[in-house]
């Protein structure tokens, strides 16, 4: 049993937000999905106040040992989440639910937190601060002081554990993590995708319908390890490490670097049951070391 | 029927070619695919190290044929590093498979023999349709070499772009001719331009058409939201809401 | 012929600093190296005022489609460079020499620029601003204002074309590029390596003797493309693009994104003549498109 | 003699095994290697997609033997994704090669028969030494299975860690015994602990020793400064200043 922000988890492997739609997967894999549920907690895709259609396709580009996505956070909006998804998740999920949310203003974030406050199904909240600031074009979480100010504003709106999902597109991710902690975060998670670009073969501009995108997968694994290590050395709150995890050894590295939990994103695309495999490999690793 | 959860290892049992196309066969006893469904395929060894240090993700490939005891056959055309690696596999090497996935073709009403309109590699799922439910195959290819894959069908009508085999011209011309004889529903799969033309023909002739569409896919089971296609109801994921859509629904 | 900061170059492909030691390569490959010289200009490894031994080994870690290095900028220092390397380079090089320099203070940089002023062999200077700031631990070039201030200080010390090699470990590389231009840079080059970490198998801490390192190679290709594109849209001075270039198509992407020259780093390790191959592939691409 | 500039393609001509070791042979007519030199090797196809999405860089491999008309033979032991891929190559598949590289062993004075001390895969360059200049080979292996590679030498003395073949113990014990009979220079290659022990023995017996050392390499031609080893003159690049160093020079 692992204790994380008051949640009791069976093992340290959870999914990365936006990389596993448990309701779609249940349609595809049926009950077996829940009998062999791969994650110790389930993190939802990012929910926004209003519905978003997401970016026009193409939304994917395969790069060297990685994937660029420009999905654009499609979701039905807060109301649809409360009315449709949450009851379905409450009925189906064998593990705690962490709801990932984003807002383009502190007010928006606050409104979402207020609405989730009454929902017992929501065990914790992950706040995605990789949303671009309209004024600067930078991620709102890229600036330590701005991040701390945002948290001072929204933190009082929720009594649930609050995980801040940091942006990696910053000069000093450890300072951002410290800002999040100072603002009242209960944990931080990282890394989100690295800003990346793919051009269409033949010189006709950006390939992705949304312009640029975010790089994930093994390509970013060692960047993730560096950022997690820096952050874990700086903050005292727990850290959820992610980025390119594909094996128990990769997960072990993040734990060794100071993470409490590890999240699996892109690897689940290659292997839907990757979460269980990685948890098992981690466990085998422990056993091997113990012997 | 739902797919077994997770990625499985399946040794390659069959490999044969039709002109430039490669048929791969692997056993998947635990699953039975519906016509139009697909698998995510990767090689078990050395998936990577090709052009641009790819492939990395698995590749979506339609079920071409469901044999006895869960033998699945796939038809492949080499277009990039992923299909290259799959096409190079030898019998005895391993595949990693996830599936069957997606929403396939609807079974035709009893007694109805649909028209199966395929272009190039898009013929693959139509082999499964014909095996399951019959139907008249209308197949368009670049040239006679590619048209060797017509052998996969019973009594197909063939067109080629260069006239080297069958009708010289578009497969939609064969389709027009058949519909002129008898109004029947259409099951189609092929390049976007062909599907577009098929939809126009279906509209004119007021027949139903089901189209199997493609989109770049990362996961194949609804996890990444990457494979969307525009429909009258907004973006839909090809992997879970398709790959087969009613032609009237696509935007 | 390509015109870059007053230099006339045969093609747009040069080497990335620290990724080709022409004097060592001449010992290995003899005259053939110069007969088939792969680069249109030659960029030296970073030179510092005083000699540096570099980091303790191991200095390399292979990652997914990439390489992490922690070389630590070993070099004989400015004096040895002037006395030993420059005359050898002047005698051997069939292309213009760009000398890459770094200093931990503006005074150090200024001193190096002064010394190079009299050297006719040095056609241009590349200033590496990825040196960590002792106070913050961040790269000195990570902050746009700091970078502009540094340049205001050192720019007057040299009459040679000055290329500023930006750091990618920043929230807003375009703002840094704009700072460099405002400070008087004649060009910018990017990307340098991404901060990355590798742990030794078995849980015994950092693998690299220098602790963390920098990620290069195909893994960072699409991150480089995104940064080069952003920078080229922001500045009016020429841009040297690099990061993961392994083929003419990769080089073409950077040129399409707005770069004037392309630099090849890690790919030369796999193929010493990669520069010529990439220039040829680029050229074939042009011809193909023209036909 | 300098190496041809650039990376070349060489088809694999020979593959055979000695216990767990694999010999690969490829033609490189334009070059002749000196004993102790090495090549950077990669497979021409599918270099990547192994454990941790590696290999990516080429791998340094000693020249084991220089045959007629530039036939180069290499001896490989599988220890990770790069050597795995190389060991799997089949005759006719392609290698990408850069070399010969590095500073090899110095030719012994006329009439001097050196002692060639090899441990495990470190025996590879000593085969080339014995072919070129003779010498008594003293070889240490884990067990009899590994010791099958002793066949590559003329009249070797063998030790194994488990005593399953030859002397039960360390190869340095064989070395002590030989030096007790006759003082001769040493050429050695093997794991760091063995090289350390060999240096100590050489110092005690006041004989010269040349050691071929290893370091992780990215380029092999002095470009990356990644492969340094500490010497009495500071860090030196193994790929251009070595891989063979005078034992007295290493720090
Ligand atoms: C439901 C479904 C069923 C399918 N059934 C079959 C089938 O039965 N048989 C079959 O052969 N194929 C089938 N396909 C197509 C097959 O999945 C693709 O051809 C395959 O994924 C291509 O991979 P590749 O590596 O060979 O080529 P890629 O290099 O990935 O290129 C394929 C196309 O993708 C684009 N592209 C180029 N580079 C990249 C990049 N870096 N990242 C992303 N896109 C890029 C280009 O438009 C290119 O033409 C199906 C696809 C779907 C969605
Ligand atoms: C001059 C020279 C000559 C050589 N001659 C021979 C020869 O004749 N025959 C032969 O078989 N070998 C030879 N080697 C050794 C050979 O180059 C290495 O065994 C090979 O590079 C290992 O690659 P790999 O992918 O198989 O294993 P890797 O996975 O690269 O592992 C090899 C070792 O490197 C470390 N390592 C693990 N992961 C990584 C990583 N991600 N990045 C970097 N290091 C890592 C570990 O210590 C591991 O034990 C020689 C080496 C040198 C320098
Ligand atoms: C297709 C895709 C969609 C994603 N969607 C979200 C999202 O909605 N919210 C979020 O916070 N992160 C999202 N991410 C980022 C992941 O949660 C994760 O931080 C990142 O992918 C790195 O992990 P990985 O390399 O294991 O994928 C997404 C990533 C991918 C690849
Ligand atoms: C081994 C190694 C050494 C490097 N040394 C330097 C250096 O001395 N100065 C510098 O400005 N950049 C240095 N770099 C960074 C490269 O110049 C380049 O910016 C980076 O590697 C990205 O390009 P690539 O992916 O083509 O290698 C070095 C990179 C590598 C891999
Ligand atoms: S391929 Fe991932 S959602 Fe369809
Ligand atoms: S391996 Fe690059 S300098 Fe030796």
The owner of tokens 């200009």 is C41
Report pLDDT digits (tens) over C146-195: 999 999 999 999 999 999 999 999 999 999 999 999 999 999 999 999 99
pLDDT number for residue B217: 98
**CB of D76 sitting under 6 A from ligand 2:** yes
Whether the pLDDT of residue C201 is over 90: the answer is no
Give the per-residue pLDDT at D69.
79
- Residue C30 CA from chain centroid, whole number: 25
What's the CATH number where B88 sits?
2.40.30.10
Judged against a pLDDT cut of 70, whether residue B234 lies above it is answered with yes
Residue nearest to atom 26 of ligand 3 (CA): A265
Residue D132 resides in a domain: yes
Span B207-227, average pLDDT: 98
Identify which has the larger pLDDT, B28 or C26: C26
pLDDT 10s digits, A182-239: 999 999 999 999 999 999 988 889 999 999 999 999 999 999 999 999 999 999 999 9
Q: Output the pLDDT for position A288.
A: 57
| Same domain, yes or no: D181 and D137 | yes
Distance from CA of D166 to the nearest CA of C (A): 34
Domain boundary among the residues B77, B101, B125 is at B101
Q: Strand pairing of C162-165 and C122-128?
A: parallel
Residue C290 above 60 pLDDT?
no
For ligand 5, pick from B37, B41, B226 the residue to mutate: most ligand atoms within 8 Å of CB: B226
DSSP code at position C139: B
Residue A291 banded pLDDT, cuts 50, 70, 90: very low
CATH, residue B170: 3.40.50.80
Residues D154 and D223 occupy one common structural domain: no
Report how far Cα A12 is from the mean position of its chain's Cα atoms: 14
A39's CB contacts (< 8 A; 6+ apart) are A13, A14, A15, A20, A95, A264, A275
Query: Which residues have a Cβ under 8 Å from the Cβ of D215 and sit 6 or more positions away?
Result: C57, C58, D226, D227, D228, D229, D238, D239
Same domain, B79 and B160: no
DSSP character for B52? G
pLDDT digits 0-9 by tens, B88-121: 999 999 999 999 999 999 999 999 999 999 999 9
Residue D244 CB–ligand 2 contact under 6 Å: no
Cβ of C16 less than 6 Å from ligand 4? yes
Non-local (6+) Cβ contacts of C212 within 8 A are A226, A229, C70, C195, C196, C197, C206
Flag whether D3 is in a domain: no
pLDDT in tens, B131-146: 999 999 999 999 999 9
Residues B14 and B96 in one domain: yes
Evaluate the omega torsion of the peptide bond into residue A58 and state whether it is cis, within 30 degrees of 0: yes
Which residues of chain A lie closer than 8 angstroms to D48, CB-CB? 65
Task: Read off the pLDDT band of C288 (50, 70, 90).
Answer: low
Tokens found for residue D228: 């340094």
Give the list of residues 6+ apart from residue A162 with CB closer than 8 angstroms, or none. A124, A125, A127, A151, A155, A184, A185, A186, A187
Name chain C contacts of B55, Cβ cutoff 8 Å: none
Nearest-CA distance B78 → chain C (Å): 20
Which CATH number characterizes residue B223's domain?
2.10.240.10
A253 contacts on C by Cβ (under 8 Å):
199
Packed helices A248-256 and A274-290: angle between N→C axes, nearest 10 degrees: 70
- pLDDT tens-digit series, residues A148-196: 999 999 999 999 999 999 999 999 999 999 999 999 999 999 999 999 9
d(CA B41, CA D11): 30
Residue whose CA is closest, atom 6 of ligand 4? C18
Of B64, B81, B101, at which residue does a domain stop? B101
* Tens of pLDDT, residues B168-199: 999 999 999 999 999 999 999 999 999 999 99
Are B158 and B136 in contact by the 8 Å Cβ rule? The answer is: no
In a mutational test of the D interface, the residue from B49, B82, B89, B90 whose CB has the highest number of chain D CBs within 10 Å is: B49
B50 reaches D (C-beta below 8 A): yes
Distance CA A141, CA A109 (A): 13
From the list D228, D246, D218, the residue with the least C-alpha distance to D82 is D218
pLDDT of residue C282: 95
Give me the pLDDT at residue C67, please.
98
**What is the average pLDDT score of chain C?**
95
**Each residue of A245-281: pLDDT tens digit?**
999 999 999 999 999 999 999 999 999 999 999 999 9
List the single best residue of B53, B80, B81 to mutate versus C (max C Cβ within 10 A).
B53
Q: Where are the beta strands (DSSP E) in chain D?
A: 8-18, 21-27, 38-43, 59-62, 65-66, 71-76, 94-101, 115-119, 136-141, 157-160, 167-168, 186-189, 209-212, 228-231, 234-237, 244-246
Average pLDDT over residues D212-237: 98
Task: Tell which wins on pLDDT, A286 or B200.
Answer: B200
Number of domains in chain D: 3
The answer to whether B10 and B27 are in contact (CB under 8 A) is yes
Which residue from A15, A54, A193 has its CB within 8 A of the most atoms of ligand 3, so it is best to mutate? A193
Q: Does residue B207 share a domain with residue B248?
A: no
The 3-state DSSP class for residue D71 equals strand
Contact between C98 and C125 under an 8 Å Cβ cutoff? The reply is yes
H-type helices in chain A, by residue range?
22-29, 32-35, 77-80, 86-92, 106-117, 144-154, 173-182, 221-234, 248-256, 267-270, 274-290
For all residues of chain D together, what is the average pLDDT? 96
Closest-CA residue in chain C for A246?
A: C64
The yes-or-no verdict on residue A290 having pLDDT over 50 is no
Determine, yes or no, domain membership for D2: no
Q: How far apart are CA D230 and CA D215, in angstroms?
A: 11
pLDDT tier at A139, thresholds 50, 70, 90: confident
Return phi, psi of residue A182, to 5°: -60, -30
Radius of gyration of chain D (CA): 17
Tell me how far apart the alpha carbons of residues A237 and D193 are, in angstroms, rounded to a whole number: 43
Tell me what the mean pLDDT of segment B46-64 comes to.
97
Subunits that touch chain B (at least 3 Cβ pairs < 8 angstroms)? A, C, D
Helix C248-256 / helix C274-290 crossing angle, nearest 10 deg = 70
Residue B3 domain flag: no
In this structure, what DSSP letter does residue B216 have? -
Cross-chain CB nearest to B222 (options A24, A56, A57): A24
Q: Which residues of D touch A218 (CB under 8 A)?
A: 52-53
pLDDT of residue A287: 57
Residues D158-195: tens digit of each pLDDT? 999 999 999 999 999 999 999 999 999 999 999 999 99
Share of chain A above pLDDT 70, in %: 98
Q: Quick check: CB of D38 below 6 Å from ligand 2?
A: yes
Count of CB atoms situated within 10 Å of the CB of A57 = 20
Q: From C22, D51, A206, C58, select the one nearest B48 (Cα to Cα).
A: D51
State the virtual CA torsion across B196, B198, B204, B210 in degrees, nearest 10: -100
* CA-based nearest residue to A251, from A276, A278, A228: A278
From CA B126, how far away is CA D143, in angstroms rounded?
59
Domains defined along chain C, listed by start: 2-54+71-195+216-290 (3.20.20.70)
State yes or no: pLDDT of A243 exceeds 50.
yes
Residue A69 alpha carbon, nearest atom of ligand 3: 1
Separation of alpha carbons B2 and A173, rounded Å: 43
Q: Is the dihedral of CA D216, D220, D223, D228 positive or negative?
A: positive
Question: Do B196 and B218 sit in the same domain of this protein?
Answer: no
Query: For residue B188, how far is its CA from the centre of ligand 1 (angstroms)?
Result: 18
Do B114 and B74 lie in one domain? The reply is: no
For chain B, first and last CA: distance in Å? Answer: 29
Sign, CA torsion A231/A17/A276/C207: negative
Quick check: D92 contacting C, CB < 8 Å? no
Per-residue pLDDT tens for C16-69?
999 999 999 999 999 999 999 999 999 999 999 999 999 999 999 999 999 999
Residues D104-127 have pLDDT tens digits of: 999 999 999 999 999 999 999 999
Asked about A19 being catalytic, the answer comes back as no
From chain D, the residues in CB contact with B48 under 8 A are 46, 48-50, 53
Check pLDDT > 60 for residue C105.
yes
The answer on D182 and D154 residing in a single domain is yes
| Tens-digit pLDDT profile for residues D60-93 | 999 999 987 789 999 999 999 999 999 999 999 9
Complex ipTM above 0.95?
A: yes
**What integer is the mean pLDDT of B210-230?**
98
Q: Does residue B218 share a domain with residue B207?
A: no
Buried/exposed B212-243: b ≥16 CB within 10 Å, e otherwise: bbbbbbbbbbbbbbbbbbebeeebbbbbbbbb
Query: Given CB atoms, is B53 within the 8 Å cutoff of chain C?
Result: yes
**DSSP secondary-structure letter at D121?**
G
pLDDT at D29 over 90: no
Are B111 and B59 in the same domain? no
Does ligand 1 come within 6 angstroms of the Cβ of B61?
yes
Q: How far apart are CA D73 and CA A10, in angstroms?
A: 53
CB contact under 8 A, A272 and B4: no
Check residue D227 and report its DSSP letter: S
Query: Does residue B13's CB lie within 6 angstroms of at least one atom of ligand 1?
Result: no
Residue ending a domain, choose from B47, B81, B101: B101
* Interface touch B221/A53, C-beta < 8 Å: no
How far is it between the farthest Cα atoms of chain A? 58
Q: Are residues B28 and B84 in the same domain?
A: yes
User: Is D243 a pocket residue for ligand 6 (Cβ < 6 Å)?
Assistant: no
Which residue's structure tokens are 């079920």?
B63
User: Structural domain of residue B182, as residue ranges?
Assistant: 105-212
Residue ID of nearest Cα to ligand 2 atom 23: D82
Q: Which residue has the tokens 């470009």?
A: D223
- For ligand 1, the distance from its centroid to the CA atom of residue B216, given in whole angstroms, is 6
Distance B60 CA to ligand 5 centre (A): 10
Cα–ligand 3 centroid distance for A266 (angstroms): 7
- State the Rg of chain B over Cα: 17
At residue D12, does pLDDT exceed 80? yes
Question: Ligand 2 pocket: which of D83, D89, D101, D242 to mutate (most atoms <8 Å of CB)?
Answer: D83
Q: Is B7 on the interface with A (CB under 8 A)?
A: yes
DSSP state of C75: B
B207 & B220 share domain = no
Residue C286 has pLDDT above 80, yes or no: no
Does residue B127 lie in a domain region?
yes
How many whole angstroms separate alpha carbon C69 and alpha carbon C4?
29
- B205 domain residue, yes or no: yes
Quick check: D28 and D40 in contact, CB under 8 A?
Answer: no
Mean pLDDT throughout A84-89? 97
Tell me if C278 CB under 6 Å of ligand 4: no
Phi, psi (degrees; rounded to nearest 5) at B231: -130, 175
* Residue C66 near residue C220, CB atoms below 8 Å: yes
Within 109-168 of D, beta carbons closer than 8 Å to A belong to none
Q: How far is the CA of A249 from the centre of ligand 6 (A)?
A: 28
**D59 assigned to some structural domain:** yes
Q: How confident is the model at residue B31 (pLDDT cuts 50, 70, 90)?
A: confident
B54 CA distance to ligand 1 centroid (A)?
12
Q: Which residue among the candidates C5, C19, C131, C176 is catalytic per the annotation?
A: C131
- Calculate what percentage of chain D has a pLDDT beyond 70: 100
The verdict on a CB contact (< 8 Å) between B48 and D45 is: no
Residue B213: the pLDDT is: 98
Q: Are D189 and D212 in contact (CB under 8 A)?
A: yes
Flag whether B198 is in a domain: yes
Contact D56 B53 (CB under 8 A): yes
């Amino acid at each position: 049993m692992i204790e994380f922000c008051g949640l009791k988890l069976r093992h340290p492997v959870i999914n990365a937000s936006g990389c596993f739609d448990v309701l779609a997967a249940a349609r595809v894999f049926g009950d077996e999905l829940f009998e062999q549920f791969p994650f110790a907690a389930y993190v939802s895709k990012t929910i926004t106040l209003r519905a978003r259609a997401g970016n026009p396709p193409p939304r994917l580009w395969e790069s060297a040992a990685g994937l660029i996505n420009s999905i654009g956070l499609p979701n039905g909006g807060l109301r649809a989440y409360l009315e449709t998804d949450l009851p379905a998740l409450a009925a189906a999920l064998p593990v705690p639910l962490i709801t990932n949310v984003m807002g383009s203003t502190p007010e928006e974030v606050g409104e979402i937190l207020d609405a989730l406050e009454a929902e017992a199904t929501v065990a914790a909240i992950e706040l995605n601060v990789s949303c671009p600031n309209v004024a600067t074009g930078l991620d709102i979480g890229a600036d330590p002081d701005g991040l701390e100010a945002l948290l001072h504003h929204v933190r009082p709106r929720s009594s649930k554990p609050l995980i801040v999902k940091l942006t990696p597109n910053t000069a000093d991710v450890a300072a951002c993590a410290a800002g999040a902690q100072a603002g009242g975060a209960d944990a931080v998670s990282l890394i989100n995708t690295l800003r990346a670009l793919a051009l269409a073969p033949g010189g006709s501009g950006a390939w992705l319908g949304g312009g640029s995108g975010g790089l994930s997968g093994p390509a970013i694994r060692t960047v993730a390890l560096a950022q997690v290590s820096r952050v874990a050395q700086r903050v005292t709150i727990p850290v959820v490490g992610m980025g390119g995890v594909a094996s128990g050894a990769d997960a072990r590295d993040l734990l060794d670097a100071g993470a409490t939990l590890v999240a699996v994103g892109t690897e689940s695309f290659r292997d839907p049951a990757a979460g269980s495999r990685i948890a098992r490999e981690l466990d085998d690793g422990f056993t091997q070391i113990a012997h | 029927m739902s797919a077994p959860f997770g990625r499985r290892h399946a040794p390659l049992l069959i490999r044969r070619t039709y002109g430039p196309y490669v048929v791969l066969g692997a056993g998947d006893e635990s699953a039975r695919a519906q016509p139009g469904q697909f698998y995510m395929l990767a090689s078990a060894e050395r998936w990577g190290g090709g052009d641009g240090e790819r492939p990395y993700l698995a590749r979506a490939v339609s079920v071409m044929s469901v044999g006895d005891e869960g033998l699945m056959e796939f038809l492949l055309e080499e277009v990039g590093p992923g299909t290259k690696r799959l096409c190079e596999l030898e019998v005895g090497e391993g595949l990693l498979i996830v599936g069957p996935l997606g929403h396939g073709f609807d079974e035709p009403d009893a007694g109805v023999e649909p028209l199966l309109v395929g272009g190039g590699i898009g013929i693959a799922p139509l082999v499964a349709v014909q095996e399951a439910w019959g139907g008249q195959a209308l197949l368009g290819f670049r040239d006679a070499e590619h048209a060797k894959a017509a052998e996969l069908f019973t009594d197909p009508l063939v067109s080629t772009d260069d006239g080297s085999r069958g009708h010289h011209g578009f497969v939609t011309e064969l389709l027009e001719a058949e519909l002129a004889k008898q109004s029947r529903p259409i099951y189609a799969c092929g390049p976007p331009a062909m599907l577009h033309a098929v939809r126009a023909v279906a509209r004119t002739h007021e027949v139903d058409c089901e189209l199997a569409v493609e989109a770049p896919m990362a996961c194949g089971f609804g996890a990444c939201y990457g494979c969307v296609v525009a429909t009258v109801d907004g973006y839909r994921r090809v992997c879970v809401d398709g790959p087969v859509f009613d032609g009237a629904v696509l935007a």
